[in-house]
Structure 1
């Protein structure tokens, strides 16, 4: 039975509607899949950037923390250095006060005469030469000439050797020296300073740790005391 034109048109429309429906469904499926893939990719990119941001700020935080530690360490070291400087200045002031009091010894001729003789004999023990030159302050010249003979006799009695001492009357010790003498032997190759300052310096090297302990107490971090 032959189809009429109306039937053909109807079937064509039916086929077109079916094709259009399938096309729409396919388009919706593609849209849905594209939307899903878009959301997945968007989530991946967002997570990736979030991790990068977190990593960046974690790195920054570590840098800031490290900088804080470095600054704290520097400030602590500076504070320690300031404390040490103040302590050393205080120790130095104690030694300066000791030096000032040493100068007062020379104001008492009787006491200074005994000290001067001991200083001369001690210097002779260090030179152990037969001929020496003695230098002193110009203000001590008369007192030195006075104690020189007993000093030589004491040296000879203890050592059993003679010594000739020439007092240098052209080159004196500086006037701001506290007192004492300097012996020269072997044409200037040997010099033995035995002034009150040199004795103080020698003693202070041994006593500075004790002075620190007396002023500031024992350092708990010090393992050795020698």
Structure 2
């Protein structure tokens, strides 16, 4: 039985409807897959950028923390240096004040005579020369003349050596010297300065740790003692 035109048109419409439905379903499938892939890629990119942002801020945070530590350490060191300078200045002032009081020693003639004798003996032991030149303050010449014989006697008893001391009565110790003597030999090539100032400086250097402890207390960061 032959198909009429109406049957043919109906079959064509059915086929077109089927094809259109298949096409729509395929489009929906493609859209769904594309959206899924888009969401996956979007999530991956978002996570990637999130990690980069976190790494950037982490680096910045560490840099800020490091800068804080550096600034804190710098300020702490500067504070320590200021404290040390203030302590050194105070110790220096104490020593300078002590030097000003050295003149008190020379007021007691009997005690100062013994001091001069000891300083001369020490100088002789250091030089160990037969002929020694001696300088002193102009006001001390008479006391030094009295101290020299006893000093030579002590030196001779200890070393069995003779010594001649020539007191310089033209070139005296500089103005401002608080007392003591200066001995030299071999035409001034070797010299021993035994003024009260130099002796005080020597003692101050030796006792500097004790002076610091007395003035400021023991340093808790110091593990070893001299």
TM-score, with normalisation over the residues of structure 2?
Answer: 0.92
2:177 aligned counterpart, secondary structure: coil
Q: Counterparts in 2 of 1:89-168, with a 5 A limit?
A: 89-168=89-168
2:175 counterpart SS class = coil
Equivalent-residue separation in structure 2 for 1:164 and 1:91 (angstroms) = 40
Question: CA–CA distance in 2 between the matches of 1:27 and 1:171?
Answer: 120
Aligned-residue Cα RMSD (Å) equals 1.7
Which residue of the partner structure matches residue 88 of structure 2? Answer: 88
Deviates more, 1:180-189 or 1:113-122: 113-122
CA contact (8 A) 1:116 1:147 kept: yes
Where 2:102 maps in the other structure, the secondary structure is: helix
Name which of structure 1's ranges 204-213 and 117-126 shifts more when overlaid on structure 2. 117-126
SS at match of 2:176: coil
Q: What displacement does 1:187 show?
A: 2.3
Post-superposition shift, 1:28?
1.0
| Cα deviation, residue 158, structure 1 | 4.1
Deviations, residues 110-152 of structure 1 (Å, cap 9, x unaligned): 4433322221222112212110111122333343334333333
Separation in 2 of the partners of 1:190 and 1:224? 37
Match for residue 14 of structure 1? Answer: 14
SS of aligned partner of 1:117 = helix
Task: Determine the C-alpha separation between the residues in 2 that align with 1:7 and 1:170.
Answer: 153
Deviation at 1:212, TM superposition (A): 1.0
Match of 1:63 in 2: 63
- Structure 1 residue matching 2:181: 3-state secondary structure: strand
TM-score normalized by the length of structure 1? 0.92
Distance 1:36 1:163 in 2: 113
Corresponding residue for residue 26 of structure 2: 26
Is 1:190 the counterpart of 2:201 in the alignment?
no
* Structure 1 gap ranges (5+): none
Moved more, 9-18 or 106-115: 106-115
The question of whether the paired residues in 2 share the 8 Å contact of 1:135 and 1:182 is answered with yes
Q: Which secondary structure state, in structure 2, belongs to the residue aligned with residue 106 of structure 1?
A: helix
Residue aligned with 2:134, SS: strand
